[in-house]
Amino acid sequence: MNRKKILELIEQGEGLNVEFKQRFSSYEKIAKEMIAFANTSGGFILFGIDDDKSIYGVESEKSDTELINDTAEKYCQPPVEFNINYIELDNKEILAVEIFESEFKPHRIQDYKTNLDLNSAQVYVRINDKSVLASKEMIKLLQTQSSGKSLTKYAVGALEKIVFDYTDKHETITVKELSKYAIVSERRASRTLIKLVRANLMLIHTKDNGENYFTAAG
C-alpha cells in the first residue's frame, strides 16, 4: 500500500471494495464492515477520510491499531484477516485497513455460540457501497463456498421446472414467489433455489436492503 494507491481509492469513492470512516466509531460498527468485506470480495476501510472525501486524519496510530486488532479478534467470529498501513496525506495520517476475502465464510458478529445460528447470526455482505445483513439463503451459500462442496450432479425435477417456467415469464424469482406459485413451503422453496445456485443453474442477487432474488444462469 502506497500513497498513490490511497489517492486512487479516495478518488474512486466508496463502493463494493472501499469504505470511508472519519474515525473509529464502535467495535460493532467496524466489525460489521470488516465482516462484510471478508464475506464478499475483500476491500479497504480508510480511517481519517469522511464520506465526502475530506481528509481528517487519525489522532493516534497506536490506539487505532489496537482498536482494529481487538475488533478483528474479539468481535468477528471467526477472526478476520487484515493488513494495516499508515499513509501521510496533507500532513495527516490516514489509516488504511485492507481486509482479505476469507476462505472461512461466513464470518459473523461475535455471539459466543459454538455453531452458527441461522435465525440469530449477524452475517454481513457487501452490496455496492453498503454492508448489509445476509439472508438465510446467502448464509447457506457462503457456507457451501467455504466447504468447497458444489453440486456436479443434480437431477432437475418438477419443482425445478416450475422455477425455470416462472423465470422464463418474469425473469426473476424470490423464495416467497416460488413458495406461492408452486404451493410449497418457503423452506422447501429456499432449499430448491440454493441447490440450483450451487449447480450453477441459477444466480443469486442481493438488493441494497439485503433481500435476495434469483435469475437463470446464462
Which CATH number does the domain housing residue 48 bear?
3.30.950.30
* pTM value > 0.75: yes
Domain region containing 26: 3-133
Q: What digits encode the pLDDT tens for the residues 53-67? A: 999 999 887 889 999
Asked whether residue 198 is assigned to any structural domain, the reply reads: yes
End residue of a domain, out of 79, 104, 133: 133
Contact 71, 30 (CB under 8 A): yes
On whether residue 140 sits in a domain, the answer given is no
Helix residue spans in 148-212 (DSSP H): 158-170, 175-182, 186-198
pLDDT of residue 123: 96
Does residue 216 contact residue 201 with C-beta atoms inside 8 Å?
Answer: yes
pLDDT tens track for 111-150: 999 999 998 999 999 999 999 999 889 998 898 877 666 6
Residue 170 lies in a domain: yes
pLDDT in tens, 66-84: 999 999 999 999 999 999 9
Which has the closest alpha carbon to 205: 182, 122, 197? 197
Please tell me the distance from the alpha carbon of residue 13 to that of residue 103, in angstroms, as a whole number. Answer: 27
Assess whether 190 and 105 both reside in one domain: no
Q: Which residue has the cell 408452486?
A: 182
SS3 string of 102-147?
CCCCCCEECCCCCCCCCCCCCCEEEECCEEEECCHHHHHHHHHHHH
In this structure, is residue 138 part of a structural domain?
no
| pLDDT tens per residue across span 40-54 | 999 999 999 999 999
pLDDT at residue number 148: 64
Residues 107, 53 share a domain: yes
